[in-house]
Structure 1
Amino acid sequence: MTMTHSGLLAEDVLDAHRAPPTLGVVSLIIATVTTGLLAGVFYAYACSVMIGLGKFDDKTFVEVMNKINVVIVNPVFMLSFLGSLAFSILASVFYLRSDLRPVLIWIAVAAALNLLSLIITSGFNVPLNNNLATATDAQGLVDFAALRKDFETPWLTGNIARALANTGALTALCWALVQHGRSGR
């Protein structure tokens, strides 16, 4: 053991140099939390919101779903929706070093799954939402039964797919935290 001029052991200095910056750990924790929140939103839709809406007539279903689709686009939801991917990517940057690869691999898996969820949402659920919103802008008679028929089952399928993607991402981020803890850093 070698002492440095400040009284620290040389191994302590080397370990501190190898550890990811505090911002890396913080970004990993925030990625985990935001991903968990997003998985929870999609889970809640699958096991309660859509089941409850399914009990209503076609007109009420369409009108309430349209209102939900408007109010959900808010800063709190967007923090988890975009933050899950952004903080996963940010965390991965701090774990790029070769000695931190066991953590990085799981963060990368989570980032890929968070991206998949974003793609499903943007490419599948949002277009269905936009089509359903035509009832709000329509002049005259609206075929609520047809709108609902074209929306409900496909939207539920997309929602379950993105819920699974985000749940997988959450699992990967939790495992990244375990790997971080095992690394002794």
Structure 2
Amino acid sequence: MKMITVFLLITAVLTALIAGLFYAYSCSVVPGLGKLSDTEYLKSMQSINREILNPVFFMSFMGTAVLLPVTTFLFRGEHPGFLFLLLASVAYLIGVFGVTVVGNVPLNDMLDRFDISNSTTEAVKQMRESFENRWNLLNNIRTVFSVISIALVICACIWNRQLPS
């Protein structure tokens, strides 16, 4: 197996893992959390946001951000595989990585600094209102762009398979 194919397969797996994470979150975790009381919701989101900061998540999330452009570079001159990977890289870096860094992380940090146990019921309600809908919208954007990214990587895999050895 050529090294370029190994890079493509690893990139595809990491991209699929991230797409699956955001998809599962959008269609199961978010609706489940939405049914909780304000205090339960905020405590749950604080816990989840702290726990996701682990090596397994970082390997997938950051690995995809690095390997998509690297694999794209390795495929330069291989059309349309290169184009599929270029579009996947742009979709991921802007719609997933960028949205996370510019949108979700600041919201997570704001929530992490919020002291739930020493806040009034009204303050807890206001925090949820300022957090939940914005965070969910941004997560849905990440979900769409991560699914677009993996679809494009799959197209590159199919194209690569059809290339002569």
Structure 1 partner of 2:142: 162
Identity %: 30
1:103 Cα deviation from its structure 2 partner: 1.0
Instruction: Kindly report which structure 2 residues correspond to 1:6-155, keeping only aligned pairs within 5 A, or say none.
Output: 22-96=2-76, 98=77, 100-116=78-94, 117-136=96-115, 140-142=118-120, 143-155=123-135
Query: Which runs of 5 or more structure 2 residues have no equivalent in the other structure?
Result: none
Deviation sequence 1:16-50 (CA, Å, 0-9, x none): xxxxx822111111111111110111111111111
TM-score of the superposed pair, with normalisation by structure 1: 0.83
Amino acid across the alignment from 1:152: E
Higher Rg: 1
1:139 Cα deviation from its structure 2 partner: 8.1
Query: Which runs of 5 or more structure 1 residues have no equivalent in the other structure?
Result: 1-20
Deviation sequence 1:60-117 (CA, Å, 0-9, x none): 1001100100110111011111111211112122212x3x122111111111111011
1:140 Cα deviation from its structure 2 partner: 3.4
Amino acid across the alignment from 1:35: T
1:133 Cα deviation from its structure 2 partner: 1.3
Amino acid across the alignment from 2:131: F
CA distance in 2, matches of 1:58, 1:30: 40
Instruction: State the aligned residue count.
Output: 162
CA distance in 2, matches of 1:134, 1:145: 16
Runs of at least 4 residues off by over 2 Å: 138-142
More relative contact order, 1 or 2 (CA 8 Å, 6+ apart): 2
Retained in 2: the 8 A contact 1:31–1:85?
no
Retained in 2: the 8 A contact 1:92–1:104?
yes
Q: What SS does the corresponding residue of 2:79 show, helix, strand or coil?
A: helix
CA distance in 2, matches of 1:141, 1:149: 15
1:173 and 2:153 aligned = yes
